[in-house]
Chains A and B, each alone.
Chain A
Amino acid sequence: MNPTITLSFTLNGRPQRVDVSPNRTLLDLLREEIGLTGTKRGCDVGECGACTVLLDGRAVNSCLVLAPQVAGREVVTVEGLAPLGTLAPLQEAFIHHGAVQCGFCTPGMLMSAKDLLDHSARPPEREIREAIAGNLCRCTGYQQIVEAIEDAARRTHEAR
C-alpha cells in the first residue's frame, strides 16, 4: 500500500543506496533505516535542533526533510565528523570546554557549528549565538558551547 522508492545520495562522503517509503523523514531514514543513531529526535517539529544535519553543506532539521528530497544530495551527520576516529577541532573543543553535559543536543549543536565555521572564519560571539539559536540545550545554558565554538574557530584559523 505504500510502495518504497530507491534513493541514492551521499552520506558522510560515501555513496548510499537505500529503499524508503516516501512518507519518511530524513531523520527516520538515518535512525531507523540506516541505523545511524547519532542524530537525535527531540521534537519532530523543527524546534529543538537535535536532528540537525548538513544538507549540501547547510544545517537543516532532518525531521523536516522528506527522505526522498535528499536524492542526489550530500548529507553529513555527526558520525561524519570524525570518520577515522580522530576528533575534529570542534569535537575536541566541545570536550575541552565542558560544552557537553547530557549530550543529547550535542550532535545537532556540532552540525550547526560546523555550518557556521565552514562559512565564516572567525565569527564573533553574537554570530555564534545566532548560529546555534535553533538548537535547544536544557543543560548548559549555552555559554561553554559558545566558548568551544570560538576556540575551534581560532584553532582552525591558526592551523590554516
Chain B
Amino acid sequence: MRPFSYIVAGSVQEAVAALHEHGRDARVLAGGTDLLVEWRHPGARVPRVVVDISRIESLRDISLEGRDVLLGPLTTHAELIRSGVIRSEAAFLASAASTIGSPQIRNRGTLGGNIMNGAACADTVPPLIALGARVTLSSVDGERDCHLSGFYNKPYTTVANPNELLTQVRFPALPRGTKSAFTKLGRRNALSISRLSVAAVVAVDETGVITDARIVPGAAQTVWKRAMEAEKILIGNPPSVALFAEAGRVVSGVLIRETGRRWSTEYKEPVIAALVRRTLEKCFAVND
C-alpha cells in the first residue's frame, strides 16, 4: 500500500474540514472493507490523505423520527441485522445485510461504505431504493439531501462531491402490513457477491388487491431503478403466482431492452424473471 497521511476525524465538522482542505487528494475511510482491498493493488490510486471517520460516534445511530427511520452511515451490516427497528420497519434491509460477505465483513463493513462505494452488486442499495431512501451529504458549505434513486451515474460513481461526507440515510418506515423481501443469487452460500438480486415491497388492501408495489433488481443494470412497468401490472390486482410471474417477465424484458442482447442474456433473461417472481412470493410467505 502506498504511503499516505492519516487524519482521525473526531466529529463531522473535523471530517468535512479535512475533506475541504484536501479535496480530491483525500478519501474517507469507514470500515475499510472496500478501500483496503482496492489500495493494495499495485496500480491503485491511493489517496494522499486518509480521513478516518470510524470514530465519529454520532454517525452510528439507528433511530426513528416519527415514521422516518434514520441511519448513521457507520452502522455496520451486523448492527443492521441485529437492530429491532430495522427488523420491524424494513425487514428486507436486514435480510439483504445478512447476505453480505461473512461475519467478519459484516462486523466491519458499513452501510455508508456500501452506498458510497456504489458497486453494482452492493446488496443494501436495492432495498434502500425500494424504500425511497434519501441520503444527506455534508460539507463545509452545509448539507444537502439526495434521493438514492438519482444518486448514481454508473457503477462506482455517485453525484457526491469529493468534499462531501455522507452523514445520514433516511427512509419512511414501511406502512404496517406492507411486506418486503430480498432475494440474492450467488455462486455459493456464503462469501458470495450477488450474481443477481431482487428487492421487493408489496402492500395489499382489505379487499385483497395490491395497492403498492416496488421492485428493484440488483447487479443487473448500470444504475439501480425501480421496475415501474412491472410494478404497474401488479397494482390493482389480487396477488397470484401467475401475476408475479408476469411481473418477472416484464422486468426481464425491460432489462434486455435497456442493455441489449448480449452473450450472457441467455442466462439472465429467465433467471431475473424467476427471482422477481420468487421475491414477490416470498413477500407473502410467512415472514422469517
When A and B assemble into the complex, do they touch directly, with CB atoms less than 8 Å apart? Answer: yes
Given contacts A22-B5, A59-B103, A60-B108, contact A133 B191 (CB under 8 A): yes
Checking A3, A25, A44, A52 against B104 with a beta-carbon cut-off of 8 angstroms, the contacting residue is A52
Between B1, B6, B102, the greatest number of chain A beta carbons within 10 A of the residue's beta carbon is seen for B102
B29 at the interface (CB under 8 A from A): yes
Is B37's CB under 8 angstroms from A64's CB?
A: yes
Asked if residues B6 and A68 are in contact (CB atoms below 8 Å), the reply is yes
Q: Which B residues lie within 8 Å of A52 (CB)?
A: 104
Q: How far apart are the CA atoms of A139 and B4 in the complex, in Å?
A: 39
Assess the A45–B103 pair: CB atoms within 8 A.
Answer: no
Within 8 Å CB of B40, what residues of A? 44-45
What count of chain A residues pass the 8 Å CB interface test? Answer: 35
> Closest CB of chain B to A60's CB: distance in Å?
5
The size bracket of the interface on B is: 20 to 34
Report B148-179 CB contacts with A as 1/0, cut-off 8 Å: 00000000000000000000000000000000
The reply to whether A134 and B5 contact each other, CB–CB distance below 8 Å, is no
CA distance A23 to B50 in the complex (A): 9
**Residues of A participating in the B interface, judged by any CB pair closer than 8 Å:** 1-3, 5, 21-25, 44-47, 49, 52, 55, 58-61, 63-66, 68-69, 71, 112, 115, 130-131, 133-136
A-B pairs with beta carbons under 8 Å apart, 16 shown: A1-B3, A24-B1, A46-B33, A46-B37, A52-B104, A58-B78, A59-B103, A65-B36, A65-B108, A66-B50, A66-B52, A68-B6, A68-B52, A69-B29, A115-B103, A133-B103
